[in-house]
Amino acid sequence: MYTEIIPIIIQNYQNDMDNLNCDNPLVKFREQKELNDKIKSFFSEILVERGNRLVVFIDELDRCKPSFAVHLLEQIKHYLCDDRITFVISVNLEELQHTIKHYYGGAFDACRYLDRFFDLRISLPPADKSRFYDEIGLNGSYPSETVTKRFIENYNLELREITRYYRQVRAAVYEPIHESRNWDFTFPDGQAKQFMLGFIVPIVIGLRIIDVSLHDEFVTGKNGTPLIEILNTEEFNEWIVRRLLNEDESFENEEGKKQVTVEEKVMQLYNAIFVKEYSGRNYCENIGNYEFDANSKNFVISAASMLTNYASLEI
């Protein structure tokens, strides 16, 4: 019974302007007032039966359509005058302000508007991601786990997104990364597959979650920025990016070697997987210890979609 009354409130107060445009607006407003009185009476009966305070929890209002969020807030104010009723609204306040501005216009003062509704604001401290990582098992130092954590930090994933993201990464690459002895990654093409599973596939999975357009640009060879943002960092420069160097290349100024930048090598890697067209004698490209070919792109996309024999949906 209690779960049915809130939808009734919302449904009957969707748009007051509709009432002004009807044949008999006074009748409509009278009906609304009668409904409002009935709801107040209902709340009073609950308070008498259940206790001296009614607490209504509203979660993730910032994720709703702007029109819905605004209408709901406007209807809540009808019950704010009753000290026995408390509304607890859990929101990302910055996002809710964007929602309000989207509805009323960019010049609208959403902050002062929301002050009409909130008597007390309590800001929760940032989540302890280290403890959260331990809770979901994201606490190792394997390549896929390191890239996953770096992606989370770089794109500010929320906790629920992190859980969904890491679950997909584990299903796609956990076994070949953690039990690599069970797979043949001996030769340069095999090492390339192992590299792509650990470093590229988690990025593709993450992009598909946060931004489909960016994901499509990435896998179609139009935007290698996400790979640069992840790999061109101090934590990867020493223990992985250096493995992309050929024998005649160096990141430092060394005699007899061509000096290259980390970004150049990362872009060469991106191009070898997602951009380059292989044909005839140009059937592969060697970057450091890795050999990439025409199948590399499809391999990454299939692995990210958990359509390879490396995937395990039981994890």
**Same-domain pairing of 50 and 187:** no
Share of the chain above pLDDT 70, in %: 82
Higher-pLDDT residue of 46 and 194 is 194
Of 1-15, 159-173, 245-259, least confident by mean pLDDT is 1-15
Residue 190 makes CB contacts below 8 A (sequence gap 6+) with 183, 184
**Same-domain pairing of 182 and 80:** no
Interval 228-269: pLDDT, tens: 999 888 777 666 788 888 888 888 888 888 988 889 999 999
Confidence grade of residue 47 (pLDDT, cut at 50, 70, 90): low
- Domain limits at 156? 129-304
**Same-domain pairing of 81 and 217:** no
pLDDT at 280: 81
Give the end of a domain, one of 92, 115, 138.
115
In 207-305, at which residue ranges do the beta strands (DSSP E only) sit?
249-250, 258-259, 284-287, 290-293
Give CA–CA dist 208/213, Å, rounded: 8
Looking at the domain assignment, is residue 296 inside a domain?
yes
pLDDT at 24: 60
Higher-pLDDT residue of 3 and 218 is 218
Helix (H, G, I), strand (E, B) or coil at 102: helix
Higher-pLDDT residue of 302 and 178 is 302
> Domain tally for the chain?
2
Looking at the domain assignment, is residue 176 inside a domain?
yes
**Same-domain pairing of 194 and 235:** yes
Both structure tokens of 203: 């990025």
pLDDT at 276: 93
Looking at the domain assignment, is residue 280 inside a domain?
yes
Of 6-15, 261-270, 279-288, 295-304, least confident by mean pLDDT is 6-15
The closest alpha carbon to 299, from 285, 289, 309, belongs to 309
The closest alpha carbon to 275, from 192, 219, 191, belongs to 219
Q: How many CB atoms lie within 10 A of CB 59?
A: 10
pLDDT above 80 (res 14): no
**Same-domain pairing of 107 and 140:** no
Residue 282 gets which letter from DSSP? B
CA angle 128, 134, 140 (to 5 degrees): 120
Looking at the domain assignment, is residue 190 inside a domain?
yes
Looking at the domain assignment, is residue 120 inside a domain?
no
**Same-domain pairing of 55 and 199:** no
- What mean pLDDT comes out for the span 25-53? 67
Interval 85-109: pLDDT, tens: 788 888 888 888 888 888 888 888 8
Looking at the domain assignment, is residue 315 inside a domain?
no
Looking at the domain assignment, is residue 178 inside a domain?
yes
Looking at the domain assignment, is residue 273 inside a domain?
yes
- What distances in angstroms separate CA 270 from CA 226, 237, 275, 287, one per listed residue? 10, 16, 7, 11
Give the end of a domain, one of 83, 115, 147.
115
**Same-domain pairing of 99 and 142:** no
pLDDT above 60 (res 195): yes
Element (H, E) at 56: strand 54-59
First vs last C-alpha separation in the chain: 40
